[in-house]
Structure 1
Amino acid sequence: MNDATVVENGAMGRVAYARIAPNEDLVLGVEKLCLAEGFRHAFVRGALGSLVDACLGTLDGKCVQVKGPAVEIVSLAGEVRSNDDGTLSAALTGVVADTEGNVFGGPFVAGANPICMTFEVTLEEWLPALAKAGM
């Protein structure tokens, strides 16, 4: 585990309210929305919707499968960052509830969380300050 703390200066930019279509993956859909809006970095500020099934990562690198249909997302937080090659990576964590009211939490595994009917998300652009020479 890395104990280093990184502090980044910058400013908030534009805000986008968008919908992710049914059967599209939650994580990949957020990345796609950022690409469409031209956001190189962004924070997830709010979300509302459900998943067909959910797949949440565990500390041992495995996945907890939450079967639906209609697994409700109770909360969602995360960020999208630009990689050195220009691609985007979303790191999303949340809490979901299954059809019986059982609650599960953890990071959403990319490619394994299909949207059920619709999903609305609010993204806020992050504009990191340019690093000063010699720092």
Structure 2
Amino acid sequence: MRRIDHPGPAAVERHAAVPGTAVPIRFVLEPGLTVDEAVAAGMREAGCIGGFVEFRGGRCEPFRYVMPAASSDPRYVAWYSETFEPTGSVNVTRACAIVGIRDGKTFLHCHGIWDTGNGRRMGHMLAPLSRVAERIEVRGIGFRDATFESMPDPETNFTLFEPVRRAGAGSSTTGDRTLLAKVRPNQDVSLAIEEICLRHGIASANVYGIGSLNGVRFVHRARVDSHATEVLIRAGRIEREDGQIRARLTLNVVDLDGVISSGEIARGDNPVCITFELVIEAIGDKTDAGLDA
């Protein structure tokens, strides 16, 4: 499997996960607010301090985003492109955001696909620089006693989200166990998710999240050779197959050239580049279509 060498010392634990008190959330982003302000307001109203939200349509103006890029600085194996500033309103076709805390404030790590005046694009939304232009309904899973917190990461030299527990109260209504998790570089994302679920006794789950991969290999032999990509999970499940649990992940991917690819990825051949952040919603034996319902 492909490997990328980061400048700092590798952490011993190659993935992390914490359980939290989770609730389904659905709220409206109000026009005039920046995306991060609007999401922060909705999370506060829901009594949540972190989690995952999904956009399926909605206009923003102005809208700002970046794409993955090669790094000229030896302290980083990859970086970001220049900031793209589309003219006029942009329709966010689909986007997924991990919601956490940075410098004591709500912070979004958001990847998505959007329609601009120059066509469909995919990348990393700059939520503080993008403003809600119409009422946008979002939904997801919020946590009352756990979140993602931005921390310096010595291995990659980035400041990255880490799942953490916070004091809180309440009972979960989304299933037996719901996890906030992350996978570190050079770990196959599917195998890592399976190991996380095994450690926490989860045999069936919906999987949500975003991250970066070092190239992508799809099940039907298509491939992306870019060493840095940005991806979102379009559909993710943990299921039992032949007595073993298996992750099945369908992704949207953008590479260094801005080319968008989609499909189910091959298990065992998709290593994380920088980080991969996840919410894993255990569903036990019940029938549950998750956020796709």
The TM-score by the shorter chain falls in which range? 0.7 to 0.9
Give the corresponding residue for 2:202.
39
Give the corresponding residue for 1:71.
229
The 8 Å contact of residues 47 and 122 in structure 1, kept in 2 or not, is answered as yes
Give the corresponding residue for 2:245.
88
Cα distance in 2, alignment partners of residues 84 and 56 from structure 1:
22
Cα distance in 2, alignment partners of residues 14 and 74 from structure 1:
22
Query: So what's the TM-score if we normalise by structure 2?
Result: 0.37
The higher relative CO (CA closer than 8 Å, separation ≥ 6) is in 1
Encode CA deviations 1:94-120: one digit per residue, 9 max, x unaligned. 110111110000001011110001111
Cα distance in 2, alignment partners of residues 125 and 74 from structure 1:
19
Encode CA deviations 1:68-111: one digit per residue, 9 max, x unaligned. 211110343211112343x2111111110111110000001011
Secondary structure (helix, strand or coil) at the match of 2:209 reads strand
Give the corresponding residue for 1:104.
261
Cα distance in 1, alignment partners of residues 196 and 234 from structure 2:
16
One-letter amino acid of the counterpart of residue 39, structure 1: I
Say how many residue pairs are matched: 113
Encode CA deviations 1:42-63: one digit per residue, 9 max, x unaligned. 111x2121001101123xxxx1
- What percent of counterpart residues are identical? 32
Give the corresponding residue for 1:13.
176
2:189 aligned to which of 21, 26, 51: 26
The 8 Å contact of residues 74 and 97 in structure 1, kept in 2 or not, is answered as no
The 8 Å contact of residues 53 and 65 in structure 1, kept in 2 or not, is answered as yes
Shift of 1:29: 1.1
1:50 aligned to which of 212, 237, 244: 212
Distance 1:80 1:118, change over 3 A: same
Structure 2: stretches of 5+ with no match in the other structure: 1-173, 287-293
> Which deviates more, 114-123 or 75-84?
75-84
Shift of 1:26: 1.2
- Structure 1 outlier segments of 4+, above 2 Å: 82-85
1:128 aligns with 2:291: no
Query: Which protein has the bigger strand share?
Result: 1
The 8 Å contact of residues 233 and 249 in structure 2, kept in 1 or not, is answered as no
